[in-house]
Structure 1
Amino acid sequence: MELQIPNPLLDVTMLNPGDLLELTGKIYVGRDAVLPKIVELSRGNGLEQMKIDLQGSVIFHSAVSVAGIGPTTSNKVEIEESIVPLSKAGVKIHLGKGEIMPETIKRLKGENAIFAVIPPVTALIKSKVIKVKMVAFPELGMEAFHEITVQKLPCMVAAVNGVSIYKER
């Protein structure tokens, strides 16, 4: 479903988990360091002073770097605790990755807002993994060296024959 954003009139009751959205328009980008500050600004007239209009907006849980823009985990305390207050301030769509708490999900409904994962890469990869085996450095936890067995894991060739998809445009 294509959505023009921001969209203050978006009725999220027409959406279902698993729906694919294509967003066109402006998106705010912030993560754990800045979102609590945006919440504070929303409690007064700080957003207006900074010319930030959250009505019908989208916030992508990410940072902007030269390496690109990708989602960060949305259930980090600083991020998840910002979701409901920013929804009250007008945000309609929160983009990120990972699961959020059931209480946050319930409270989003009351604010006519949604949480979406973008891109759904983590969920896609997880759905293609059949087996996970830690093979070295267990003391590193999730950053240990693992072997995974996958089935039909999609990927895109990014560089071949001296040419890259990341060339300057």
Structure 2
Amino acid sequence: MEKYLTIPTSQEELENLKSGDYVYLTGTIYTARDAAHKRMYEAVQEGKELPVSLENQFVYYLGPTPAKEGQVIGSAGPTTSSRMDKYTPTMLEHGLKGMIGKGKRSKEVIQSIIKHKAIYFAAVGGAGALLSKCIKEAEVIAYNDLGTEAIRKLKVERFPVIVVIDSQGHNLYETAVEDFKKQLL
């Protein structure tokens, strides 16, 4: 099913999303990859304040290429999400509600998604140039020294994603395989 979501969004809207839904996101999302996640995780462990409040926010696992002249951002394809798995439960505990990346997530992350009623979305890997056209503004807001892995605040319009793991823990990567097997019979 195709849906449109303005973010930040309500908990009710998130809970209405189902694994397999095609969603177009409009609003503010943040970027953070491995190095930024590690720093945020360490900040939490040390009792320090995070550089951005994660409360009801979405994070896109992205390290964009440099923008060419006249562009807001360079190619903006997703990073493999499992690289953030060891940090994700802590980020969810601090209010994170949506994650955008590619690939499978650990059992611990899935349990944390369910516990915190969050959502894991996939963006199409290999479509970074096309995805960048949905990004209307991009601003580095933290960890500038990390270069492409700095945290960015993005304004997106109709950014296409697919719900992979919904707030109840239904996982498209598992159900799609089962559906395919049924079709073979």
Query: Is the Cα–Cα contact under 8 Å of residues 92 and 112 in structure 2 kept in the other structure?
Result: no
Q: Residues 139-158 of structure 1: CA distance to partner in whole angstroms, max 9, x if unpaired?
A: xxxxxxxxxxxxxxxxxxxx
Normalised to the residue count of structure 1, the TM-score between the two structures is: 0.62
Structure 1 residue 10 and structure 2 residue 32: aligned? no
Where 1:24 maps in the other structure, the secondary structure is strand
- Structure 2 partner of 1:46: 49
Query: Is the Cα–Cα contact under 8 Å of residues 31 and 72 in structure 1 kept in the other structure?
Result: yes
Structure 2: gaps spanning 5 or more residues = 67-73, 128-185
Please report how far the alpha carbon of residue 120 of structure 1 lies from its aligned counterpart in structure 2 after TM superposition. 6.3
Query: Is the Cα–Cα contact under 8 Å of residues 29 and 62 in structure 1 kept in the other structure?
Result: yes
Structure 1: gaps spanning 5 or more residues = 123-169
Please report how far the alpha carbon of residue 41 of structure 1 lies from its aligned counterpart in structure 2 after TM superposition. 2.9
Query: Is the Cα–Cα contact under 8 Å of residues 78 and 125 in structure 2 kept in the other structure?
Result: no
- Structure 2 partner of 1:73: 80
Distance across 2 between alignment mates of 1:39 and 1:18: 30
Please report how far the alpha carbon of residue 114 of structure 1 lies from its aligned counterpart in structure 2 after TM superposition. 1.3
- Structure 1 partner of 2:88: 83
Q: Percent identity?
A: 28
Please report how far the alpha carbon of residue 54 of structure 1 lies from its aligned counterpart in structure 2 after TM superposition. 1.2
* Cα RMSD (Å): 2.0
Where in structure 1 do 4 or more consecutive aligned residues deviate above 6 Å? none
Distance across 2 between alignment mates of 1:41 and 1:103: 21
Please report how far the alpha carbon of residue 10 of structure 1 lies from its aligned counterpart in structure 2 after TM superposition. 2.2
- Structure 2 partner of 1:60: 60
Please report how far the alpha carbon of residue 71 of structure 1 lies from its aligned counterpart in structure 2 after TM superposition. 0.4
Q: Residues 44-84 of structure 1: CA distance to partner in whole angstroms, max 9, x if unpaired?
A: 3422xx3x1211100011112224111010112xx111221
Distance across 2 between alignment mates of 1:64 and 1:101: 25
Please report how far the alpha carbon of residue 33 of structure 1 lies from its aligned counterpart in structure 2 after TM superposition. 1.3
Q: Residues 62-108 of structure 1: CA distance to partner in whole angstroms, max 9, x if unpaired?
A: 112224111010112xx111221111111110100001122321221
Distance across 1 between alignment mates of 2:95 and 2:54: 5
Where 2:42 maps in the other structure, the secondary structure is helix
Count of aligned pairs between the two proteins: 116
* Distance change (3 Å), C-alpha of 1:38 and 1:109: same
Normalised to the residue count of structure 2, the TM-score between the two structures is: 0.57
Picking from 14, 21, 24, the partner of 2:23 is: 21
Query: Is the Cα–Cα contact under 8 Å of residues 15 and 117 in structure 2 kept in the other structure?
Result: yes
AA aligned to 1:38 is M
Please report how far the alpha carbon of residue 121 of structure 1 lies from its aligned counterpart in structure 2 after TM superposition. 6.0
Distance across 1 between alignment mates of 2:108 and 2:48: 28
Higher RCO (Cα < 8 Å, 6 or more apart): 2
